[in-house]
Structure 1
Amino acid sequence: MRRPLWLQSLTQQGTTPPYLLKYRSSEAFIVATIALAIFTDMILYALIVPVVPFSLSSRAHVAPDRVQYWVAVLIAIYAAALLFWSPICGWIADHSASRRSPLLVGLFALLGATVLLHVGNGIGVMIAGRVLQGSSAAVVWVVGLALLADTVPQERLAQAMGYVGAGMSVGILLGPLLGGIVFDRAGYGAVFGIAYALIGLDVVLRLLLVEKKVAARWNPEAGGRASAWNEQGKPGQESGEAVQDPSNGSGKQEPVASSSTDPEQGRPRSVEDAAPENSIPKKRKLRGRLPPLLSLLYSRRLDTALFGAIMQASVMSAFDSVLTIHVADTFHWSSTGAALLFLPIVIPSFLGPVFGWLSDRYGGRYLATLGFLCALPPLICLRYIDTNKINDKVLICILLVFIGLSLTATFPSIMAEISAVVEVKEKKMLASGMRGYGSGGAYAQAYALFNMAFAAGCTLGPLLAGFLVEQEGWATMAWILGLLLAVAAVPTFFWLGGFLFVKQPLECH
């Protein structure tokens, strides 16, 4: 008995190809689905920000003088859940047969979190909702970015990450604005109505999505980047073909020794094809036996990308805790007017795919370094926004545009570097005769590390900015945020894409 098409779509099995397989497994559809998933996760995180204080006082019956305390606690709980679940989700995703199944589980966790936050009338229920929300975010970011790395070739990955960055920026910055306006105009229930609508759209797209390796059952040419690892031992390269460093963008290629690989184990078939066991440095062998999550941290390139992610997230999230209050005090704007000031930071994020293309074409090292450095002058100039004059109002909008533009320029390069490090380390391990990361790879675990770094930055930024404004003032906070990005530019210049003065495509320093 033939199964209905919807059931075939859900299980992605059977002899008959799923309906519209070509489009549902296309690179563009998968990128759009992941970008929307990131957008949904971030906007639901930020959408309820204006609502939480009201919920705490009117529904959870928290005393007015304790509202600020519980708001901070709920933010910290979300970050803690995100940090805790990210490495676990990475390990599960790299050891599961499908990326889509964990994504669906994460989506239902997000739905459960939204329901709890909507109907909860006690602080315990709201804490449970934030835990579920943080857990869902871990799944979406880790598994979603790993799916992108499976799908998109390295030479186009930064551009794909640009779309993800646009979805993230729009979600996290438009969420409070949309939540505040809807809450003022239509009330508490309408805010969560938007949340349910977005989740419903996300459910449809995730059910329609067909992974490249699943599509390969009916179309072997649609196997994607992940299948290339298992078939050839290195992504997209025939034996003996020149291999390009996937992240330096220089266009220079160097030949690599031919090595036949076992498709099941992802390692050389014969000892003759690999380096002799006794020729492998002891430290390298020890690192090869470590879990991928730990062995990846030995890469200075990955450490550089993670440090850049922390600094970038810190500055981006710092405005959440200080910008609205500062302009309200300085310009005497209402909450809606202050929320609209986030638009100058959001609008440049739509150029994320353009910066991603530039990173793919010319390399991410100089683009990311330039982005970090270009953010320094406008951040320092924020110190001059201190009077209720039209010039100051125009100036802050211009400065925020340049800050948003600079941060957008750094995001695709850092995101694509995570995948490039995994690819290069895998090549090096296979060339040394070691097993590598196995058939599941380590993309998800690498992006789990990125997720943890980004979450740490989102936790550090608001706390640091709030403390500095309270203790030292707005002007001091502005130049210190600029200094953070200037510091991030140094390792980015020397290490992103490999050590600046050493050209070794198979070496991951």
Structure 2
Amino acid sequence: MRRPQWLLSLTQHGAQPPLWLRFRSSDGFIIGTVALATFTDMFLYGVIVPVIPFAMQSRGLVAQDRVQYWVSILIAVYGAALLVFSPFCGWLADRTASRRSPLLVGLLALLGSTVLLNVGSTIAVLIVGRILQGVSAAVVWVVGLALLADTIPQERLGQATGYVMLGMSLGILIAPLLGGVVFERGGYDAVYAMCYALVGVDIVLRLLLVEKKVAARWDASVGGRERHTAERPASSQETTGLQRLSEQKEIGSMQPTSTDLEKGMPTSTSTTTAPVPTVPASRLRDRLPPVLSLLYSRRLLAALLGSLIQAALLTSFDSVLTIHAAKVFGWGSTGAALLFLPVVIPTFLSPLCGMLADRVGGRYPASAGFLLSVVPFVCLRYVDENTIQDKVLVCALLALIGLFLSFTFPPIMAEISGIVEAKEKKMVENGRPGYGTGGAYAQAYALFNVAFAAGCMVGPLLAGFIVQDKGWATMAWVLGLLCGITAIPTFLYLGGWIFKTTS
């Protein structure tokens, strides 16, 4: 059956420009598509959290005394898949001609995981579904953030990543609430009917998306973010030497080159000559894949440490907050779940935090966010009695934690692309090849994703083990100490070494 012409013009990029080209390649549409992709990812991750324990029992998949064990396994499998597949997604995305194609492939993994989790009748099928869900998340976070880095100028990237964080926060906030209500009223299949509808909207937006470099084929005024290698048609050291020689001629320099001397060409003598800078020999880091050579940057390591601690701090509550609220206040699952709202709601300010980082630089908002978080984390130790004052106190402290940490996410996410841009510019200026036409944005965000996934795995374990062995109060000051320590490298290195002198 032949597809109608209007559908072809929407989904294919041929000789004629696609319909609504300017809108589909606009900054707002691309940011919205990536934000919805992160919302969908977090929604599908969180919607089954209050559902799967009951579904496993009602379907007779596991014995009642093994439900907690298998729920923990399913959570860990997602994080492990996210961690393992992120570097591969980054490497692959930087070697494809389009960011859009990997995003569409990620949708297949997302749809497959949703179907398996919906119809799965054995634990093995559910585990495969969670693995595919982790793969899809790796694609969304790595390729989606790289697409933003391709599209949005560095000076506005903080605000753009703030909208991505807003999508993530909405997914974390809405998914468990809707999942529990819909499961109670409509059953397990009704929960997944809601998921299929959301995936359908995500599919439509990803199909409609047109990258700026693709849109530029028909409309030259649609410009994406320029990469430094775009100004250099060739990246070989020979071409760099010729360019350097040309520049010398333009300024009237008569200094002979080594090639002229070898060929016996006549040279003029000049009383004012300057030595020609030589191209530095290739170092080990330049021969490594970008995903590894980037790790030589202390600036990147500081950003990765920040992302790891961010994830660890937020996910630490997953393993301890509900249990502590039940123990101290006598709350059930519903009341304890509502305690997560004060943490999530302040993150809706992420776009404003990103805008602030774009104006003053990411160093100060991010380091201040970590430093200010020390106080509310440490003060959590005083929540130990079943009183109105303690209930108000814990909500206020969690709200402050969510607010202060909101100042750290957009700057660190934007910093990743800034590091790649700065390193590539320096490589080109020194006569070394850059990262090629594909760049290294996706591989850099793959490292960010790995750090974040590691934090998601470490946080709940760290908090849970400390509470079990040393108590709630010890956990509170340990998490506060982590915030204070992380503020130091964030202040020193985010945006570059703070004591670096410029000539």
Question: Aligned pair 1:23/2:23, yes or no?
Answer: yes
Counterpart in 2 of 1:137?
Answer: 137
Letter of the aligned partner of 1:476 in structure 2? T
- 1:274 Cα offset (Å): 5.4
Contact 2:107 2:136 in 1 (8 A): yes
5+ residue gaps, structure 2, are 246-274
Counterpart in 2 of 1:273?
Answer: 243
Contact 1:266 1:436 in 2 (8 A): no
Structure 1: how far apart are the matches of 2:244 and 2:283? 14
- 1:230 Cα offset (Å): 5.1
Structure 1: how far apart are the matches of 2:240 and 2:500? 30
Counterpart in 2 of 1:56?
Answer: 56
Question: Aligned pair 1:207/2:207, yes or no?
Answer: yes
**Over residues 10-36 of structure 1, what are the superposed CA-to-partner deviations in whole Å (9 max), with x where a residue is unaligned?**
23x222211111111100110011011
Of residues 377, 383, 386, the one that matches 2:375 is 377
Structure 1: how far apart are the matches of 2:456 and 2:92? 24
Alignment of 1:157-236 (within 5 A): 157-226=157-226, 228-229=227-228, 231-232=230-231
Contact 2:279 2:432 in 1 (8 A): no
Of residues 390, 393, 413, the one that matches 1:392 is 390
Contact 2:280 2:431 in 1 (8 A): no
- 1:172 Cα offset (Å): 2.5
Counterpart in 2 of 1:347?
Answer: 345
Structure 1: how far apart are the matches of 2:168 and 2:359? 23
Counterpart in 1 of 2:41?
Answer: 41
> How many residues get paired?
473
Residues 287, 315 of structure 1: alpha-carbon distance in 2 compared, 3 angstrom cutoff: same
Letter of the aligned partner of 1:344 in structure 2? P
Residues 180, 277 of structure 1: alpha-carbon distance in 2 compared, 3 angstrom cutoff: farther
Counterpart in 2 of 1:328?
Answer: 326
Secondary structure of residue in 1 paired with 2:203: helix
Secondary structure of residue in 2 paired with 1:375: helix
Structure 2: how far apart are the matches of 1:330 and 1:303? 39
Letter of the aligned partner of 1:68 in structure 2? Q
Contact 1:59 1:122 in 2 (8 A): no
Structure 2: how far apart are the matches of 1:66 and 1:426? 52
**Over residues 82-137 of structure 1, what are the superposed CA-to-partner deviations in whole Å (9 max), with x where a residue is unaligned?**
11111111111101011111101111211110110111110110011011000000
Alignment of 1:437-456 (within 5 A): 437-456=435-454
Q: Which moved more, 1:476-485 or 1:187-196?
A: 187-196
Structure 2: how far apart are the matches of 1:476 and 1:43? 32
Residues 424, 16 of structure 1: alpha-carbon distance in 2 compared, 3 angstrom cutoff: same
- 1:307 Cα offset (Å): 0.3
Counterpart in 2 of 1:10?
Answer: 11
- 1:184 Cα offset (Å): 2.7
Contact 1:161 1:412 in 2 (8 A): yes
Structure 1: how far apart are the matches of 2:491 and 2:72? 35
- 1:174 Cα offset (Å): 3.4
- 1:433 Cα offset (Å): 1.1
Counterpart in 1 of 2:306?
Answer: 308
Structure 2: how far apart are the matches of 1:267 and 1:458? 43
- When the two chains are superposed, the root-mean-square deviation of aligned CA atoms in Å is 2.1
**Over residues 128-178 of structure 1, what are the superposed CA-to-partner deviations in whole Å (9 max), with x where a residue is unaligned?**
101100000010110000000000000000110111112112223432233
Structure 1: how far apart are the matches of 2:47 and 2:79? 16
Residues 288, 326 of structure 1: alpha-carbon distance in 2 compared, 3 angstrom cutoff: same
Residues 398, 57 of structure 1: alpha-carbon distance in 2 compared, 3 angstrom cutoff: same
Structure 2: how far apart are the matches of 1:274 and 1:435? 15
Q: Which moved more, 1:50-59 or 1:192-201?
A: 50-59
Letter of the aligned partner of 1:33 in structure 2? T
Secondary structure of residue in 1 paired with 2:283: helix
Residues 266, 318 of structure 1: alpha-carbon distance in 2 compared, 3 angstrom cutoff: farther
Structure 2: how far apart are the matches of 1:503 and 1:197? 54
Counterpart in 1 of 2:288?
Answer: 290
Secondary structure of residue in 2 paired with 1:439: coil
Structure 1: how far apart are the matches of 2:128 and 2:425? 43
Structure 2: how far apart are the matches of 1:268 and 1:8? 44
Secondary structure of residue in 1 paired with 2:496: coil
Counterpart in 1 of 2:104?
Answer: 104
Structure 2: how far apart are the matches of 1:82 and 1:486? 28
TM-score (norm 2): 0.90
Structure 2: how far apart are the matches of 1:297 and 1:211? 28
Letter of the aligned partner of 1:396 in structure 2? V
- 1:3 Cα offset (Å): 7.3
Counterpart in 2 of 1:424?
Answer: 422
**Over residues 261-288 of structure 1, what are the superposed CA-to-partner deviations in whole Å (9 max), with x where a residue is unaligned?**
21x6598844143599984555x62211
Residues 184, 332 of structure 1: alpha-carbon distance in 2 compared, 3 angstrom cutoff: farther
5+ residue gaps, structure 1, are 233-260
Structure 2: how far apart are the matches of 1:358 and 1:137? 28
Structure 2: how far apart are the matches of 1:221 and 1:230? 20
Letter of the aligned partner of 2:54 in structure 1? F
Letter of the aligned partner of 1:319 in structure 2? F
TM-score (norm 1): 0.89
Counterpart in 1 of 2:469?
Answer: 471
Q: Which moved more, 1:98-107 or 1:176-185?
A: 176-185
Alignment of 1:60-139 (within 5 A): 61-139=61-139
Counterpart in 2 of 1:501?
Answer: 499
Residues 268, 204 of structure 1: alpha-carbon distance in 2 compared, 3 angstrom cutoff: farther
Letter of the aligned partner of 2:5 in structure 1? P
